[in-house]
Amino acid sequence: MKKLLIANWKMKPKTLKEAIVLAKLSDDKDIYLAPPYIFLQSIKNVLKKATIGAQDLFQENPPKGGAFTGAVSAAMLKSIGIGFVILGHSERRALGETDVIISKKIAIACESKITPVLCVGESEGIRKKGIEEAMRFVAEQIKNDVSSIPKTVKKMIVAYEPIWAIGTGNNDTPESASQMARHIKKILSDQYSIKAKVLYGGSVNSKNISEFAKESDIDGFLVGGASADPKEFKTIIKIIKSI
- Give the x/- contact pattern for ligand 13P in 47-86, rule: CB under 6 A: ----------------------------------------
The single residue among 13, 35, 53, 202 that binds ligand 13P, judged by CB under 6 A, is 202
Nearer to ligand 13P, 3 or 89 (CB): 89
- Give the x/- contact pattern for ligand 13P in 122-161, rule: CB under 6 A: ---------------------------------------x
Stretch that binds ligand 13P, among 43-51, 64-72, 107-115, 223-231 (CB under 6 A): 223-231
Of these residues, 89, 97, 122, 183, which one is catalytic? 89
Interaction between residue 163 and ligand 13P (CB under 6 A)? no
Interaction between residue 220 and ligand 13P (CB under 6 A)? no
Task: Report the alpha-carbon distance of residue 181 to residue 201 in Å, rounded.
Answer: 11
Least distance in angstroms from the C-beta of 201 to ligand 13P: 4
Q: State yes or no: is 97 an active-site residue.
A: no
- Asked if residue 224 lies in contact with residue 209, where contact means CB atoms within 8 angstroms, the answer is no
Least distance in angstroms from the C-beta of 225 to ligand 13P: 3
Q: Which residues contact ligand 13P by CB under 6 A?
A: 8, 89, 161, 166-167, 201-204, 222-226
The residues annotated with a catalytic role in the active site are 89, 161
